[in-house]
């Protein structure tokens, strides 16, 4: 009986480079999941009462928690920026007169709006 050929799949996500970048972006979903679990733990602590809430807030000041939050922030920023880089390819062409708007300008506009909304959110959260 003749054996069926099976193409080797080892480390396909490392070659070429664009697949590595894609795989890395998709991996950032794990960090979003971790942050969702942190927020759910906070909600459970809030529902459990003042002592549990104080313990949760104290746990957030631990260096490991701060490191995790920095890692999650970096992953979220990477994911956001790479998705903004895809925006010009995913959206219908935008024209100014008869000339199409450059993709770099669309990407930068997304990043600027994202930065403004992020700053406003942080300011509002800090004020409350």
Task: Report how many domains make up the chain.
Answer: 1
CATH number of the domain within which 117 lies:
1.20.1300.10
Q: Provide CB contacts within 8 A for 99, sequence distance 6+.
A: none
Task: Identify whether 122 is part of a domain.
Answer: yes
Task: Identify whether 39 is part of a domain.
Answer: yes
Task: Identify whether 60 is part of a domain.
Answer: yes
pTM greater than the 0.85 cutoff: no
Whole-angstrom Cα distance, residue 72 to residue 53?
A: 22
Predicted confidence pLDDT, tens digits, the chain (128 residues) = 677 887 777 776 667 888 888 888 899 999 999 999 999 999 999 999 999 999 999 999 999 999 999 999 999 999 988 889 988 999 888 888 899 999 999 999 999 999 999 999 999 999 86
Domain that holds residue 74: 12-127
């Amino acid at each position: 009986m003749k054996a069926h050929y099976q193409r080797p799949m080892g480390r396909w996500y490392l070659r070429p480079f664009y697949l590595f970048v894609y795989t890395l972006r998709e991996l950032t979903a794990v960090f979003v999941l971790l942050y969702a679990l942190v927020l759910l733990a906070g909600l459970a602590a809030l529902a459990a009462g003042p002592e549990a809430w104080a313990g949760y807030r104290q746990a957030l000041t631990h260096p490991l928690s701060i490191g995790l939050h920095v890692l999650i922030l970096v992953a979220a920023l990477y994911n956001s920026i790479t998705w903004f880089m895809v925006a010009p390819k995913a959206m219908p062409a935008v024209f100014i007169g008869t000339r199409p708007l450059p993709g770099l300008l669309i990407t930068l506009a997304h990043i600027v709006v994202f930065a403004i909304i992020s700053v406003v959110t942080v300011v509002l959260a800090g004020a409350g």
